[in-house]
Structure 1
Amino acid sequence: MAAAESAAGLNIIDHDKGPAILATSITVTALSTLFVAARLFTRARIIGKLYLDDYFISISMICSWVTVGITAKAVSYGSGRHAALLTEYQFSHAILWTMVAFLPGILSFAVPKLAVVALLTRMMNPSRTHAVIMWTVAIVCLISLMGCVGILFGQCTPTHSTWTFSVKGECWSPMILVNYSIYAGSFSAFTDLYFAVYPAIVLCGLQLNIRKKIALSCALGIGSVATIVAIYKTTRIPGLASPDFVYDTADLTIWTAIEGSTLMIASSIPILKPLMDLVFGRRAFSSNDSNERYEKYDRSRSGKDESGVELSKRSRKRGRPMDTAISQLETAVDSTSYEEHRKSADQDSQTNIVSSTSEPPASVPATPPLGAIRRTDRVTVTTSYGEDPERGLPMSRWG
């Protein structure tokens, strides 16, 4: 009773962040689930193949919902409210479940970084050294973030003395956890920024028009939003050292859910191009089955399936990677399929470039009469799969 009167005197009775924690966590997680479901549908049903990044994102999605469930249990014990308003039993269990929720919560925004790397290494076709660097950065970031959980549960001996007040234990200074978490959060923000800026740098070197460069840079660089979220979340980390733990870490819980959902959404957007084509009718009303069209479009000349917006490793061995990047990345914003490009090219041609036989048509004299006006059409056919041996120019994939 005295504790309640004291709390009323401090005007903290109405301070309850529990509903905000649940509302935000459930909302952003449900939203990211829609994007992930659309991503998996696009890959599994339209393109016909799941990739490594899809499995990483699926794991992240599971961790997000596990976090929501554990967070809801923590809120039921009083997480989001001031310690002065809770009984010892409530406060103890609120601390325990809040701490437990950090484990899947961290995985929900750490694992998507691996998915982003898997996506970028396939779409951007970086050198082996650069690919190793990106994987190393993502894995080091994951390990660093998991270190926060290790310190959180290992800062006191025995561990359960952290939330069981009847047990006396020896604990490190709480600032060790705070300082390390700030480092891990800052490194996470840097990683998000690095993976968001890298595609834009690559696209600047490609022979694309400005509209497509901007569209692709935005689609692949939307993860920069997660950088802003990670930076702001880092400012909430000092709450880990607060005596009023379950109230002061409420914002950290909320922004952890937001960061994970932002990364999952950002990594899914570049994959949804074929689904958007179906939704807006660009392929849905085609005479051919949409799945069959994408299978044809995604199949390489060797007969292996590949994603239409992703670069294949084959480009490192044959042709020029940048030319392949142009033709592959353009499909992320171009609504026409491979067959439609071929059809358009045939319609634009005023005459057949190559005849089916070596003999000229009978109606067209092989040699115009002397003094007649001649019409000459110069046609250059290029492809990224090789080079013109006479001019040394890249040859078009349509050749």
Structure 2
Amino acid sequence: MLIPEGENGGRVLLDVDFSLLALTVIVVAGRVFSRFKMQGKLRSDDVFILLSTLLFIALVVLHSVMVFDYHLGKSTATLAQTDIRTQALIGGIARILYLPATALIRVSVLLLTRRLSPYCWVRHSTTVLTICNVVFAILMVFLIIFTCNPVSASFQPPPMRRKAQCLNYYTIQRVVPAGSAVLDFLVWVLPVVLVVRVQFLGWKKKTIAVGLLGMGVIACIAGVMRVVILFRTPGGRDPSRRAPVLGLWTSAEIAMGIVAASAPALWPLVIMVVRAFTEKTPSFRFWNRPASSADEEIAAQPMRQEQQGVPMDTITVWNLTVEEDVTIPHGIRNYKSQEPLFAEDRQNQ
């Protein structure tokens, strides 16, 4: 499981936590700097990423308290009853923090995708997925808090809940990460599909865009690993030794989600740094180029001529640096584009 479930599990968890936290803080700081440098203000998706970063910091603090003060990672048989109870209480709080943190990251990605998209189907999809994320987070938080009657038993170890009326603890533990993993996949796939279907970007440019936006697959993998561990781990296994493994993948999912969501906003900063240290400018000018060059490229696209009655000079380039709302006629919003690669193949046949 990549980290030991023995006495050193807690220490390994903190090493990974602080490494991911350092990476996250650097990336978010670069994102904020890039936004103010290029646009002079933060957007709504930036605010959500900042909030998720604060929740991630709180999660790392909880992990630290559990390891240093309550000996997380050691055998439950060697722990005092107060340590076991406190581990369960803090663990419940950590599970609650996980839900809004991941939901904020996903909504941030959806807001960016919606702002960049010229297509109605993408805008409708982002709206539906945003609602699903909010509802899922609220329902799961409610379910975690009210697992037992009385509520105080929800934050106690399962063996100490005998006098309370509770839902199945291990079922809830599996439902939360499984649902989160499904939402991760849907949210991170949508931007990639959008880039692939956009016709006024060449394949070279699409490859770079997919590489940046597709970094969310790392967060998806971390979420899937949490599900695999929970389904493969017997319910009776020592919870104090299993918790560091789950905590590691939880931190990885949140941290890599923040990094992946910030990648498009960081791209202008990367170009600025490259320009500062080299004389050559990267050939990725589609991120920040004037509309005239975009019009020239669109005019050169044979497939765009298939759209009847659509003025070619009304299409604005899809820009990840400026991130302005795309002004496109209603006909293009409803137009179902085909992948240029297949179109080129048909033309060559």
With the length of structure 1 as denominator, give the TM-score of the two structures. 0.65
- Partner SS state of residue 235, structure 1: helix
Partner of 2:224: 231
User: Quick one: which of 38, 58, 72 aligns to 1:46?
Assistant: 38
Provide the aligned C-alpha RMSD in A.
3.5
User: Quick one: which of 157, 161, 179 aligns to 2:171?
Assistant: 179
Partner of 2:146: 154
User: Quick one: which of 102, 107, 113 aligns to 1:109?
Assistant: 102
Cα offset, 1:218, TM superposition: 1.1
User: Quick one: which of 250, 253, 267 aligns to 2:247?
Assistant: 253
Letter matched to residue 267 of structure 1: A
User: Quick one: which of 308, 314, 336 aligns to 2:327?
Assistant: 314
Cα offset, 1:153, TM superposition: 3.1
- Partner SS state of residue 208, structure 1: coil
Per-residue displacement from partner, 1:101-121 (whole Å, max 9, x unpaired)? 222233222210000000101
User: Quick one: which of 264, 279, 283 aligns to 1:270?
Assistant: 264
Partner of 1:396: none
User: Quick one: which of 163, 166, 181 aligns to 1:169?
Assistant: 163
Per-residue displacement from partner, 1:71-114 (whole Å, max 9, x unpaired)? 21122202222210101111111221122122223322221000
Change (3 A) 1:157 1:194: closer
Change (3 A) 1:312 1:264: same
For 2:238 and 2:20, the matched residues in 1 are separated by 26
Change (3 A) 1:90 1:232: same
Q: Is the contact made by 1:79 and 1:95 (CA closer than 8 Å) also made in structure 2? A: no
Change (3 A) 1:143 1:256: farther
Correspondence list, 1:187-336, <5 A: 187-205=179-197, 206-238=199-231, 241-242=235-236, 244-281=238-275, 308-310=321-323, 312-316=325-329
Per-residue displacement from partner, 1:153-189 (whole Å, max 9, x unpaired)? 3222223344388886313243xx4334434423322
Change (3 A) 1:143 1:211: same
Letter matched to residue 254 of structure 1: L
Partner of 2:27: 35
Q: Is the contact made by 2:34 and 2:265 (CA closer than 8 Å) also made in structure 1? A: yes
Partner of 1:290: none
Change (3 A) 1:267 1:50: same
Change (3 A) 1:13 1:320: closer
Give the length in aligned residue pairs. Answer: 295
Q: Is the contact made by 2:5 and 2:73 (CA closer than 8 Å) also made in structure 1? A: no
Identity among equivalent positions (%) equals: 21
Residue range with higher mean Cα deviation, 68-77 or 50-59: 68-77
Partner of 1:17: 9
Q: Which structure shows the higher helix fraction?
A: 2
Cα offset, 1:13, TM superposition: 11
Cα offset, 1:307, TM superposition: 6.2
Partner of 2:48: 56
With the length of structure 2 as denominator, give the TM-score of the two structures. 0.73
Partner of 2:82: 89
Letter matched to residue 125 of structure 1: P
Q: Is the contact made by 2:107 and 2:133 (CA closer than 8 Å) also made in structure 1? A: no
**Structure 1, unaligned stretches of length 5 or more?**
1-11, 286-293, 326-399
Per-residue displacement from partner, 1:284-342 (whole Å, max 9, x unpaired)? 99xxxxxxxx8999xxx9xxxx964535242246x95699x9xxxxxxxxxxxxxxxxx
For 1:268 and 1:258, the matched residues in 2 are separated by 15
Letter matched to residue 126 of structure 1: Y
For 1:236 and 1:230, the matched residues in 2 are separated by 10
Partner of 1:134: 126
Cα offset, 1:228, TM superposition: 1.4
Change (3 A) 1:36 1:255: same
For 1:260 and 1:274, the matched residues in 2 are separated by 24
For 1:80 and 1:125, the matched residues in 2 are separated by 50
Change (3 A) 1:180 1:133: farther
